[in-house]
Chains A and B, each alone.
Chain A
């Protein structure tokens, strides 16, 4: 993978996305005693996903708390303690669970600074795991990032690669605003080169993951990997796609996306979240408004179909956007519907 902004790769070692996140937590907890971690099964068990493994033994039970299954209290813990100067990192485990604590997110966390005339600072991070593909059905598989992106006051990062995950979580913890750190479950086990030591990837900066001339594919989270797989097959057909990973969805780095579209003149947005009202709709709309004259074809979108995520492996496979669907959409975009 390409180098990350600000990174000084001392060693080209490969670790998983999850290990990269874990490293960022260790570094930041070491660096700043105001950082603490709280959530369900985060301490003794190290999180059901393994995100916080080793933190309890390293930092002790004052710095990492196992909480009751009580998301209002968990997210409220973050808001109130951030208002009082701490830098909490809390987990809601599955992003689907924001439903049970949405007031704290929507009406408290996001709005306190503005409502209070700017005096409040809310340096907090909420970890949330998104995505389908594990047979977890409708309440444990969603990609709800667009809901969060619609709320002024929140920032939303959704990294696809291990090195970005480490650098973006570091930035998120040092940020004085509420940040949702959305991890796609299928990204978690992927390995990548991750620099040792501390580094930051700035929030709000997209990355060109693959260069190409024929079409821009703006993909988020696991869809970046599906797009990379599609790119290999498209290359065999003579189509070179440029893949842009926004990495941060709020604020959105539209400049990098526009620069790519102005080069390729065609664009497809891809996310796993349902297509209607997804982040792809916003990106497409901004491209049309800002780069209409550069477009040689109507912008295309791919997202989940309009249904809850199904359970059966056959139905779930049908539901999820994948490399084949991206391949076909790009062929249609570039060759005019002949795919």
Chain B
């Protein structure tokens, strides 16, 4: 049983609302993708919300993150604007990338989001550079590198952590272990069960936590981020989690066992936090419903914004390849 000690009610409610926002965003995006209103692939973060939210709750806008193909949740947790996110998914000019990036490349450099990434293991080398810049400039910033379990088998991940550990860079490597690399179970992709054990080979701490419990994530992230800010170097945090939908899209063709999926649905991170909040009398059924309703309205408003936004002018095709 988790406790919410040391975390004030305002922070807990902020995390609850943010997790609900991610869920609403993702389920809406999934439905729109099924209706072919969103082109390409969407990789939904639903089920994994506690990790992005519990980590990013500690970050200032100037701190940076690198994200993944399953990146919508990180973006929202880091303060991203759901209107501009939906506009990007629709390929509109009001989107974060003015329609040039789409789901897998949403970035907002103004608030430290150094991009979702279509390449598994694409983010870690960039995180090294961002963390190095923070150290070089002495500005106290940290960089959080989110990856899935799949990326931990990529060379880039190992090279990045070795480098960050060697130079004691202010980086945190968060593994969202949802137990599947695309469609293949994690135990068929590597010989160790606890991915955080890999920290030993870099001489840094590694912790495995319940990734469905936002309070456990929050506390592990606090320690790792404080350590990084102190100049004591990186930490690996492995959050045990599960995606509620298929690798891409929603549930169609999901090869994972029905009983496994049902069991994880019983460990919904939003329901777990709601239980804690109700127990502490921070949230009533009525106030929870109000949050859900407000979030639904926000997402509906974002869809309207995105639908009304213009497409990019074809003349923009060749702009932004280079800086002037």
Indicate whether A and B interact: yes
Our pick among A62, A70, A114, A115 for the contact of B159 (Cβ within 8 Å) is: A70
Query: Nearest Cβ in chain A — how far from B316, in angstroms?
Result: 9
> Judging by beta carbons under 8 Å apart, are A116 and B97 in contact?
yes
- Report whether A72 and B132 are in contact in the complex, using a CB–CB cutoff of 8 Å: no
Contacts beyond the supplied A72-B155, A76-B159: 11 A-B pairs with Cβ under 8 Å: A72-B125, A73-B160, A76-B125, A77-B132, A80-B66, A80-B133, A81-B136, A83-B129, A114-B100, A119-B107, A155-B322
Whether B199 is near chain A, meaning CB under 8 Å from some CB there, is no
Q: Which residue of B lies closest to A73 (CB)?
A: B163
Contact of B107 among A71, A85, A120, A176 (CB under 8 A): A120
Contact present for A108 and B125 (CB under 8 Å)? yes
**Measured between alpha carbons, how far is A80 from B319 in the docked complex, in Å?**
22
Whether B15 is near chain A, meaning CB under 8 Å from some CB there, is: no
Q: Is A177 an interface residue (CB 8 A)?
A: yes
Do A103 and B133 have beta carbons less than 8 Å apart? no
Contact B99 A104 (CB under 8 A): no
Residues of B close to A86: CB separation below 8 A:
132-133, 136-137
- Is B323 touching A83 in the complex (CB atoms < 8 A)? no
Decide if A117 touches B320 in the complex (CB within 8 Å).
yes
By the criterion CB–CB under 8 Å, are B98 and A118 in contact? yes
**Chain B residues with CB under 8 A of A26:** none
Please tell me if the beta carbons of A72 and B105 are within 8 angstroms of each other in the complex. Answer: no
In the complex, what's the smallest C-beta–C-beta distance from A82 to chain B, in angstroms? 7
Is A152 interfacial (CB 8 A cutoff)? yes
Q: List 8 A-B contacts (CB under 8 A).
A: A72-B155, A76-B160, A84-B64, A86-B133, A103-B156, A114-B320, A120-B109, A121-B323
Within the complex, what minimum Cβ distance (angstroms) separates B120 from chain A? 10
Which residues of B come within 8 Å of A, CB atoms?
64, 66, 95-101, 105, 107, 109-110, 114-115, 117-119, 121-122, 124-134, 136-137, 143, 155-156, 159-160, 162-163, 166-167, 319-324
Task: Give Cα A82–Cα B136 distance, bound, in whole angstroms.
Answer: 12
Chain B residue with minimal CB distance to A153? B321
Binary interface profile of A, 174-185, with partner B (CB < 8 Å = 1, else 0)? 001100000000
Contacts of A72 in B (CB 8 A): 125, 155-156, 159-160
The B-contacting residues of A in range 54-97, CB under 8 angstroms, are 62, 65, 67-68, 70-73, 75-86, 88
Residues of A contacting B324 with CB < 8 Å? 176
The 10 closest A-B pairs by CB, nearest first: A76-B125, A80-B129, A118-B320, A84-B133, A117-B97, A117-B98, A73-B163, A176-B323, A81-B129, A115-B105
Complex contact A79–B125 (CB within 8 A): yes
What chain B residues lie within 8 Å of A68 (beta carbons)? Answer: 159, 162-163, 166
Q: Does A205 contact B (CB under 8 A)?
A: no
**Cα distance A62–B98 in the bound complex, in angstroms:** 37
Task: Tell me whether A113 is interfacial, beta carbon within 8 Å.
Answer: yes
Q: Is there an interface contact between A117 and B130, defined as CB atoms closer than 8 Å?
A: no
Q: Across the interface, which residues of B come within 8 angstroms of A81, CB to CB? A: 129-130, 132-133, 136
> Chain A residues in contact with chain B, CB under 8 A?
36, 62, 65, 67-68, 70-73, 75-86, 88, 100-101, 103-104, 107-108, 112-123, 152-153, 155, 176-177
The CA-CA distance from A113 to B155 in the complex, in Å, is 24
Measured CB to CB, the nearest residue on chain A to B166 is: A68
Q: Are B127 and A80 in contact (CB under 8 A)?
A: yes
Interface pair A116/B109, CB less than 8 Å apart: yes
Contact residue among B127, B143, B163, B321 (Cβ-Cβ distance under 8 Å from A113): B321
Whole-angstrom CA separation of A12 from B50 in the bound complex:
66
Residues in A whose Cβ lies below 8 Å from that of B129: 76-84, 88
Please give the distance in Å from B317's CB to the nearest CB on chain A.
10
Residue of B nearest to A175 (CB): B323
- Could you say which of A68, A84, A85 has the most chain B C-beta atoms within 10 Å of its C-beta? A84
Neighbour of B126 across the interface among A83, A113, A155, CB < 8 A: A83
Q: Kindly list chain A residues whose C-beta atoms are within 8 Å of the C-beta of B126.
A: 76, 79-80, 83, 104, 108
Q: Which residue of chain A is the closest to B108 with respect to CB atoms? A: A119
Q: Considering only CB atoms, which chain B residue lies closest to A85 in the complex?
A: B133
Instruction: Give Cα distance in the complex from A136 to B66, angstroms.
Output: 38
A116 in contact with B128 (CB, 8 Å):
no
Q: Would you give the shortest CB distance from A334 to chain B, in whole angstroms?
A: 39
| Residues A104 and B156 in contact, CB atoms below 8 Å apart | yes
Q: How far is the CA of A143 from the CA of B131 in the complex (A)?
A: 33
Closest to A101 in B: B125
Contacts of B100 in A (CB 8 A): 114-118
Question: When chains A and B are docked, how far (Å) is the Cα of A312 from the Cα of B126?
Answer: 40
Closest CB-CB distance, A63 to chain B, in whole Å? 9
Cβ contact within 8 Å between A103 and B119: yes
Q: For B133, what are the chain A residues with a Cβ–Cβ distance below 8 Å?
A: 80-81, 83-86
Q: Among A73, A120, A122, A177, point to the contact of B125 (Cβ < 8 A).
A: A73
- Report the minimal beta-carbon distance from A236 to chain B, rounded to whole angstroms: 45
Cα–Cα distance between A67 and B95 once the two chains are bound (Å): 38
A104 touches B97 (CB 8 A): no
A73 and B323: CB pair below 8 A? no
CB neighbours (8 Å) of B127 from chain A are 76, 80
Min CB–CB distance A105 → chain B (angstroms): 10
B280 to chain A, nearest CB (A): 39
Q: Whose C-beta in chain A lies nearest to the C-beta of B131? A: A80
Nearest chain A residue, comparing its CB with the CB of B101: A115
User: Which residue of B has the minimal Cβ distance to A116?
Assistant: B107
Q: Are B136 and A117 neighbours in the complex by a CB distance under 8 Å? A: no
Instruction: Contact check, B323 vs A177: say whether CB atoms are below 8 A apart.
Output: yes
Chain B hits for A107, CB < 8 A: 118-119, 122
Which chain A positions have C-beta within 8 A of B66? 80
Question: Contact at A70–B132, with CB atoms within 8 Å?
Answer: no
Contact status A117-B119, CB under 8 Å? no
Which residues on B sit within 8 Å (CB–CB) of A101? 125
Residues of B near A88 (CB, < 8 A) are 129
